Homo-oligomer: A and B are copies of this chain.
Amino acid sequence: MERSLEIIFGLIEEKKYALVREELLENNEADIAEIIEEVNDELGTEKSVILFRMLPKDISAMVFAYLSSDCQVDIVGGITVKEVQNIMEEMSFDDMIDVLEELPANVVDRILMRTDKETRKLINQFLNYPESSAGSLMTIDYIGLKKEMNVGDALQYIKIHGMDQETVYTCYVMDAERHLEGIVSLRTLVVSDSDETIKDLMHEDFISVNVMDDQEEIAQLFKKYDFLALPVVDKENRLVGIITFDDIMDVIEEETTEDFERMAGVLDDSDKEYLDLSVIQHIKNRVPWLCLLTVSLMITGAIIARFEALMSQVIALVAYMPLLMGTGGNTGTQSATLVIRGMSLGEIELRDVGKVIWKELRISMVLGAVLALINFAKIVLIDRQEPLIALTVSISILIVVIFAKLIGGLLPMAAKKLKIDPALMATPMISSITDMVSVIIYLLLATLIMGITL
């Protein structure tokens, strides 16, 4: 692909478009889409539209579906509404909905005007499902069978209704009112005798999801059961669509990226790639948490200011403050990250809170003791400070590590209990809290141990 890209850039420069087309069609749809995106980014939309128009009708829809939404909007701006509509007609229903969700409203209106009334109604219905619901993920391209059919009829039906690649391997058995009664896999149909009836072959203990269910729960189901597809039903248990594994892989990726971002104090609800996001948007995503964290750091500063008298008497104490705060942040982050990830994989449930605390308590006591000992030795032997200072620092470290690990384990679970995203309780949050607590512990202990009156 990389090589093909270079060749095409060269040919565009020489305006040898017949050769560009030839080279372009050497690639598969996903790679063609990547080439068009590169051209769009580097040479402008005018050129990418020329390339896109070169594609034969049967593959242009697939290429279009692979493009990023930014590039889709660019391309749509450069071609006629008629052309857009042709692409839409070739696309699978869920891909089409994804595209329509991103396009400017006036373009959507113009496309909808040209479709028949029934399709328009269906599209509008899909566009209205909440963003992360089963409804917004599903497609209507599935094979529906009747339980009275025999295998021969069913295979004949499938053969006639030439269908979408992603939807054929599980067939859905419905009654006259579209109530879902069972599922049967194409595998079963192919290996069964042609006079067996669907009724005898279908599974009736299938799992289905409701159209308003959240995509995160659905992703958990896919991971647990290794489904290829899952039926989506409405309140009356009527089949309204199916969700396929490839869309779920995208969901899992999005949710994971969101976790990473939130754990780093970035609030991004755009699903856009790092490089596609404008500087302004990056700033907007990062500034809220930073301001909040600044306030917490100001409070930590104010606490320290209270102890100025202590520090001016024993200035050596100051040099160990970063050690205390850093150790609290690092150890707390470890625990918080493991617990957050464990919860998002469904490995840790809220009822495990006792086990988590007990585990972190034992871990933190050992780690705290190890770090306390290392630091005690270093302060006495290398820094040649008074043993009282070394004692203050090491006892503080022990307490801070235990506190940080416990709060790191507990806070994400408390957040989940309160229906707040646990990922928000990661690094920045934990280290803010441990910063404050560790300076308090350290400076109080110092006053106590060194017998200084403030």
Q: Which residues of A contact B (CB under 8 A)?
A: 28, 30, 155, 158-159, 162-163, 165-166, 168-169, 185-187, 190-191, 205, 222-226, 228, 245-246, 249, 252-253, 256-257, 259-261, 263-266, 273-275, 279, 282-283, 286-287, 289-291, 293-294, 296-298, 300-302, 304-305, 308, 311-312, 315-316, 318-323, 325-327, 329-331, 333-334, 336-342, 345, 347-348, 352, 355-356, 359, 362-363, 366-367, 370-371, 374-375, 378, 383, 427-428, 431-432, 435, 439
Contact = CB atoms under 8 A, between A and B. Distances in A.
15 contacts: A165-B187, A169-B169, A186-B187, A186-B190, A249-B252, A257-B345, A290-B330, A294-B327, A297-B323, A297-B327, A298-B375, A300-B326, A322-B325, A326-B431, A427-B427
A415 to B, nearest CB: 17
A325 B438 CA distance: 15
Contact of A205 (B28, B249, B331): B28
A16 to B, nearest CB: 24
B311 A367 contact: no
A279 B330 CA distance: 18
Contacts of A362: 279
Contacts of A282: 359, 363
Contact of A318 (B190, B290, B304, B355): B304
Contacts of A318: 304, 308, 311, 318, 321
Nearest to A383: B305
Nearest to A221: B30
Contacts of A316: 305, 308
A282 B356 CA distance: 12
A165 B158 CA distance: 20
A279 B322 contact: no
Nearest to A439: B322
A374 B295 CA distance: 10
Among A318, A345, A435, the most chain B Cβ lie within 10 Å of the Cβ of A318
B330 A435 contact: no
Contacts of A266: 334, 337-338
A158 B190 contact: yes
Contact of A191 (B158, B302, B431): B158
B191 A275 contact: no
Nearest to A280: B366
